[in-house]
Structure 1
Amino acid sequence: MSKIEFIVEKTDTGFSAYASDESFPIGTSGDDVTELKKNIVDAYNSYAEIKGLKEVSINDILITLDVKQFFDYYKIINASALGAMIGMDKTLISQYANGHKKPGPKQIDRILTGIRQLGQELSSLNLSIS
């Protein structure tokens, strides 16, 4: 089974999400991304039960944010520093992060690859107590 994509949008009170595939009329909301993921699984599984479909876990769900919403939510990631890491002009990535420009597919892939590399690098580190 391929992953079921949910488009996530920032709202004044948290986040909302809806299935990108119109054959799944599913939407939900949450105060933060962690709660939203749980609510997506619950909403999908309620729909699946009614329709006789296979239930899913969070591993079957693909969360899609636009670049601005990503940087709004994950403020700990500095767009300029990430841009330097991936060789992208800091003004350009700042325009993406602030919503002044929309990145194309190649730029999104470049940013996402950098974010994933950073995540892998951070998850492999240890800190010393000395």
Structure 2
Amino acid sequence: MKKIVFIVEKTGTGYSAYAVDDKFPVGTAAANMTELRQNILDAMNTWRELKGLPDVSEKDVMIRLDLAQFFEYYKVINSSALAERIGISQSLLSQYANRIKIPSEKQVNRILSSIKDLGKELTHLELI
């Protein structure tokens, strides 16, 4: 199954999300990302149940954030250290994170790839 993509936007009270594909007229909101993920699944599965379709799971859904929202929500990730790890200017990454500049698709993929690589490293880490 092709992943169902949801665009996430920051609101005054938390986050909202809507399906990119018009064939899925589904949207929801929540106070935080954890709750939003669950609300996306609940909303999507309610719609699918009405259509007589099987449920989807978290692996069937992709959440898409822009860089500014990513750094706002995941404040624990230091953008300066990440820029150094990626090999781009700290100033440039900061401009992307603050919406001063818009990164190209190639640059977004480069940043995302580095973030995912970091996540893989962390899943294999044990602390003593």
- Which digits, 9 at most, give the CA deviation of each residue in 1:95-130, with x for residues without a partner? 0111111111001001001101111111211122xx
Q: Which residue of 2 aligns with 1:43?
A: 43
- Which digits, 9 at most, give the CA deviation of each residue in 1:3-52, with x for residues without a partner? 10000001111110000001111100111111101000100111011112
- Which digits, 9 at most, give the CA deviation of each residue in 1:47-84, with x for residues without a partner? 01111222101111000000100000000101111010
- Rounded to whole Å, the distance in 1 between the matches of 2:20 and 2:40 is 12
Give 4+ residue runs of structure 1 displaced > 4 Å after superposition. none
Q: Which residue of 2 aligns with 1:88?
A: 88
- Rounded to whole Å, the distance in 1 between the matches of 2:86 and 2:14 is 30
Q: Which residue of 2 aligns with 1:5?
A: 5
Q: Which amino acid aligns with 1:87?
A: G
Q: Which residue of 2 aligns with 1:127?
A: 127
- Rounded to whole Å, the distance in 2 between the matches of 1:54 and 1:125 is 36
CA root-mean-square deviation: 0.8
1:1-130 aligned within 5 A: 1-128=1-128
- Rounded to whole Å, the distance in 2 between the matches of 1:30 and 1:60 is 20
TM-score, scaled relative to structure 2: 0.97
Q: Which amino acid aligns with 1:95?
A: Q
SS in 1 for 2:54: coil
**Once the two structures are aligned, what percentage of the paired residues are identical?**
55
- Rounded to whole Å, the distance in 1 between the matches of 2:126 and 2:27 is 39
Question: How many correspondences in the alignment?
Answer: 128
TM-score, scaled relative to structure 1: 0.95
- Rounded to whole Å, the distance in 2 between the matches of 1:102 and 1:116 is 20
